[in-house]
Structure 1
């Protein structure tokens, strides 16, 4: 899914030479930095850097990784990803399990005024509360937000910030690929998205990584209109790779009224999904 050599090649091609003090002219035909330029700027031999890009070098030191991260302009998230790729050969991670504890399902049921989900690193929604089902317009079992965004919502649909959502999803999956290199289900999902979406394929080739923590999420719901919500991600300490996501509305906002209306529409239609049967078996 991802390896150190491929990551270095891709990120090297994205560095503007002028940004690192290398003059350019119209005769330059290389996209980004040359290998010898990366080696010089990071303080390693050209031969060693070439072997890194060919996957033949021994495990690089922290000092080398720090220097490469500086030259390639990696942020903290991408620097951590670089470190995991460098250690993959020695630490082959296994895919975490996908069962949600009953106690966590009860926690979801306590969240009644905001959509709440539990997802795994593959972006499968493992469980969700009643409002989450109403927001996405379907029962939670079987929902994968990456497929939903790239393959089922190609015309943007539900996602008001569709382009930003695609960047977040690809960045998350790239990060997950570094954390779980031996996960066949993740590899299969990435292959499926690459085959089914030109945009996914283009974004994946950029090798960007992103950590989801919090931020604005906007949805265009067909019944209640625009919902501008705030998403908070909480990593579950006892469930490797799982996160609790809560989508809240600001007090007194139009979105708060929209969620209240959405909840009422669900009651009127007799749709009462619960977390008790909203869990995916892995």
Structure 2
């Protein structure tokens, strides 16, 4: 029989979610918070009765396939997925690839910080969400959304004083992603393309750098506004993603330039 801890985890995770988090309409007013059991069952492609029995700790031990479906339906983070499998007494297989969709509440957060440029990147450094100021500051993120490709293949629009430091940070993160997602073809194509086109990328890769993003100050040269001195801060969020906040010190010419870019955007 499935354990009480697994049942508690499923209930708590279901009650923490909102319909918008999983792409469902809110519908009529709900008497209790979170998703309904039938909604989770629908998302996980299983019967409502089977899911209800798991939440009540009276179902059989779920198979790895069932656990994967539950992890997808409940939008768990990679760490939560491992925890879910352990509660069920199962060993999780490596995830197929990075999560490449951003959670709706994070998109809403980007919209509420108009004086900061912000982007969300997945584990392969694809920009999967950004606000208008980031697009105006960094230069057409839709045309080339991968920050590693922009850095090593010269596809970014603007020059940066911290390009060398970011190169090592990017390679360290991509090496970690390659270890976590060895079956992801899209990531493999990215790495193959960088190795083939950038001797610098290959050289840094071979050193196996160990770098973590932190607070950095860099200067970029904007084609219209000239040099801009910027603060970059990275926040790690669920799903193996990061948010990069780019700001300027209050009262500086760069702060005024960012307000101008925001107004134009």
1:224 is displaced (CA, Å) by 1.0
CA distance in 2, matches of 1:219, 1:103: 29
Q: Is residue 174–residue 209 contact of structure 1 (8 Å, CA) maintained in 2? A: no
CA distance in 2, matches of 1:142, 1:153: 7
- Which blocks of at least 5 consecutive residues in structure 2 are unaligned? 1-91
CA distance in 2, matches of 1:198, 1:177: 19
1:96 is displaced (CA, Å) by 3.1
Give the aligned partner of residue 250 of structure 1: 249
Give the aligned partner of residue 134 of structure 1: 136
1:227 is displaced (CA, Å) by 1.6
Query: Relative to structure 1, is the Cα distance of residues 206 and 162 closer, same or farther in structure 2, using a 3 angstrom cutoff?
Result: same
Q: Is residue 171–residue 201 contact of structure 2 (8 Å, CA) maintained in 1? A: yes
Output aligned runs, 1:21-40, within 5 Å.
none
CA distance in 1, matches of 2:177, 2:98: 11
Query: Normalization by structure 2: what TM-score?
Result: 0.60
Q: Is residue 170–residue 200 contact of structure 1 (8 Å, CA) maintained in 2? A: yes
Aligned residues: 174
1:140 is displaced (CA, Å) by 3.4
Give the aligned partner of residue 86 of structure 1: none
| Higher RCO structure (Cα 8 Å, ≥6 apart) | 1
CA distance in 1, matches of 2:227, 2:196: 31
Q: Is residue 99–residue 122 contact of structure 2 (8 Å, CA) maintained in 1? A: no
- Which blocks of at least 5 consecutive residues in structure 1 are unaligned? 1-89, 273-282
Query: Normalization by structure 1: what TM-score?
Result: 0.56
1:207 is paired with a residue whose SS is coil
Q: Is residue 144–residue 150 contact of structure 2 (8 Å, CA) maintained in 1? A: no
CA displacement, residues 199-236 of structure 1 (integer Å, 9 cap, x when unaligned): 11111111113222332232111111112211121111
CA distance in 2, matches of 1:201, 1:217: 24
Output aligned runs, 1:1-282, within 5 Å.
92-140=94-142, 142-153=144-155, 157-237=158-238, 240-264=239-263, 267=264, 272=265
